[in-house]
Amino acid sequence: MCTGGCAKCLGGTLIPLALFGFLANILLFFPGGKVIDNNDHLSEEVWFFGGILGSGVLMIFPALVFLGLKNNDCCGCCGNESCGKRFAMFTSTIFAVIGFLGAGYSFVISAISINRGPKCLMDNRTWGYPFHDGDYLNDEALWSKCRQPADVVPWHLTLFSILLVIGGVQMLLCAIQVVNGLLGTLCGDCQCCSCCGGDGPV
């Protein structure tokens, strides 16, 4: 597959992943699927907007750039031959790095939150974090330490696990585009042959 076609494929995959990440982060504002009265009762990591910013907004822009590479003018832009496919592929590499950092941010936040567990009403009638070092992950009996909101532990674990997986996949795809973009920068695109009257790729 040519570098432009590969980038378009990656961009088309990143768009739905970004939307899923955005949605997962929104749902975290409703622990257990319920509206809470006090925002202070939300887990701190929810306010870091890992899915909204990292896997969402910071991923949309690279994805759109990748999608646009397939139709990029091989011979230059606005008649300027120095601004062509190679430059476009180099630009995509920069956006891929930005996307990688955004996905990495979401991945780290999700991992920390999964290990820490949700903020909930504990047995002593105060709100806090009853779990330590991910001990609840292997022992569902500990989930009873969270009195309210109902089902907050599986809700928290499921959504942050989704964000963790999404972030990991996005990091992989952006890393692939970094390599693909560098190849496109150095070697050009296989579809850009003779479009400017030359014999080889531009």
Answer whether residue 119 is part of any domain.
yes
The predicted structure's pLDDT at residue 201: 44
Q: pLDDT at position 16, please?
A: 96
SS3 assignment for 53-72: HHHHHHHHHHHHHHHHHCCC
Q: Please check whether residue 111 lies inside any domain of the structure.
A: yes
- Whether residue 20 lies inside any domain: the answer is yes
Whether 32 is covered by a domain: the verdict is no
Residue 197 lies in a domain: no
Classify residue 77: in a domain, yes or no.
no
* pLDDT confidence of residue 79: 45
- Domain annotation covers residue 124: yes
Alpha-carbon distance values, 64 to 25, 98, 120, 133 (Å): 21, 13, 39, 39
Which strand (E) or helix (H) includes residue 21?
helix 3-27
Tell me, what's the pLDDT at 29?
A: 96
Each residue's pLDDT expressed in tens, for the chain with a length of 202 residues = 577 778 889 999 999 999 999 999 999 999 999 998 899 999 999 999 999 999 999 999 999 999 887 665 454 444 444 446 778 888 899 999 999 999 999 999 999 999 999 999 999 999 999 999 899 999 999 999 999 999 999 999 999 999 999 999 999 999 999 999 898 888 765 554 333 334 444 4
* 100 within 8 A of 178, measured Cβ to Cβ: yes
Query: Residue 137, class by beta-carbon neighbours within 10 Å (0-12 exposed, 13-18 middle, 19+ buried)?
Result: middle
119: domain range?
Answer: 3-27+48-71+83-129+142-187
Q: State the pLDDT at residue 70.
A: 64
> How many domains does the structure of the chain reveal?
1
